[in-house]
Amino acid sequence: MSKKILLFSVDFSGVTNKLFSEFIPLDVVIEEHRIPKIWRIYFFSIITTFSPNYKKWVVRAERKYNLLQKTPWAFKLKSKWCADILKKKKLKNYTSIIQVSGTFNALAYFKTDVCFYILTDYTMELAARKQRQAICPLIPPSDRLVCDWYELETALYQRAHGIAVPSLYIKESLNQFYGVSKNKLHNIGYGSNLTLNFEAKTKELDLNKTIKVLFVGKQFISKGGNEIVASVKALNNAGIKTKLFIVGPRVNPGVNMPNVTYLGRIYDKEKLIQLYREADFFMIHSSYEAFGLVLLEAMSVGVPCITSNVDGMPDILCQTGAGKVVQLGDPDAIVNTVKEYLQEPQTYTVASKAGINAVANYYNWPAVSQRFYNMVSSQ
């Protein structure tokens, strides 16, 4: 008989769809309820941030909307929505309840003995640590609201029978700050969102050609776009011909350099895969990064990665050898890392192969789903 799971989700970067679509071969029936957009916050953010400059308006509206989502009021509102769904269900028909994200509590206003599991890839405590940075993640707008959020979050995590996370640094936050026992925490990784219709081959660095650098990210500033542009400029000034291709930002970040190309958002996966294949290096230099799914996309086709040394990215690159991490805010460190690969091109080939192997053997959705399934089946 198939297991039936009740799922409450918010989709971040396609994780929910990728993870749970792999449950079908595991004889599991998923009943998903997607947390709806809070429209009053959405329209309020648009109206109250109006600017005749479209670029500024978009940036301000998105920031305000995301900030208001980080309030205890929004946390509780989403939690109550889940309770309304649960009241209509015969929970004896379900083997477990799962929620994706730590920004609400599906069981805050409803009691049940059904096993409860969480998938999360960031905590408010991790965000609060970074508030002294020049670029930092959003947190509630006052100390009191931050403390209120901590209480809501702690109750959520303590209630769970198991919590799945994609990297070790999140696991440490849940254990050390929120007091979740280690035996409840399961590091399952994430998978690449790109589906390849070819076998990836190890890349070699051609020292006689212009170096192609690829940046993929919606938030140009917080993902370190300026630092990457500075490093590309420095490489060219040093006589190392380098081009940068920017994918993801909604509006052109306005980099006025002849060797920088803005490509906007690319929804055609085949076109995106081709850009990855043509790149020599993949770079993001994030001030904060929940995990770094784009690293897995680059690794899947054998592109070595150079990233900042924050959050989950060192977990990926240092453990796999698929690239290198550098000090946050240091464009010179990016330049020196590229030069090191140029001086020892065999290390580039080793990193390329390591990335391909890591995605094939660990960072892929069938493997991630199996690890998640093992967690929910262990009770």
In what order do the strands lie in the sheet containing 211-216? 260-264, 242-247, 211-216, 281-284, 305-308, 323-326
CATH of span 4-191+365-377 = 3.40.50.2000
pLDDT at 66 over 90: no
146 pLDDT higher than 70: yes
Span 222-235, pLDDT tens digits: 999 999 999 999 99
Burial 66-77 (b: 16+ CB within 10 A, else e): ebbbbbbebbbe
Q: Identify the pLDDT of residue 110.
A: 97
- Domain range annotation of the chain: 4-191+365-377, 211-362
pLDDT computed for residue 13 by the predictor = 63
Place of tokens 């300026």: 226
% of the chain with per-residue pLDDT over 70: 98
> Would you say residue 315 has pLDDT above 70?
yes
What pLDDT does 359 receive?
A: 98
> How much is the pLDDT for 220?
95
Q: Which CATH architecture has domain 211-362?
A: 3-Layer(aba) Sandwich (3.40)
Task: Sort strands 323-326 and 211-216 into parallel, antiparallel or unpaired.
Answer: unpaired
* Alpha helical stretches, state H, 177-312: 225-237, 269-278, 293-300
Q: 133 pLDDT band (50/70/90 cuts)?
A: confident
pLDDT of residue 1: 54
Buried b (16+ CB within 10 A) or exposed e, 123-138: bbbbbbbbeeeebebb
CA distance 294 to 292: 5
Asked if pLDDT for residue 11 goes beyond 80, the answer is no
Quote the pLDDT of residue 63.
86
Does residue 22 register a pLDDT over 90?
no
Region 333-361 average pLDDT:
98
Question: Scanning the structure block, which residue is given the tokens 């990728």?
Answer: 18
* Among 19-28, 241-250, 256-265, the least confident range: 19-28
Answer whether 4-191+365-377 and 211-362 agree in fold.
Answer: yes
Confidence of residue 14 (pLDDT cuts 50, 70, 90): confident
Q: How far is CA 148 from CA 41, 106, 142, 309, in A?
A: 20, 17, 10, 30
pLDDT digits (tens, 9 = 90+) for 75-95: 999 999 999 999 999 999 999
- Torsion, CA 152, CA 153, CA 157, CA 158, rounded to 10: -40
Q: What is the residue whose two structure tokens read 């991490």? A: 325
Q: Is the pLDDT of residue 118 over 70?
A: yes
Query: Band of the pLDDT at 49, cuts 50, 70, 90?
Result: very high
The mean pLDDT of 114-138, rounded to a whole number, is 93
- pLDDT value of position 332: 98
Residue-level pLDDT at 26:
72
123 has a pLDDT exceeding 70: yes
Residue 216 has pLDDT above 70, yes or no: yes
Mean of pLDDT over the chain: 94
The label of the residue with tokens 């784009």 reads: 294
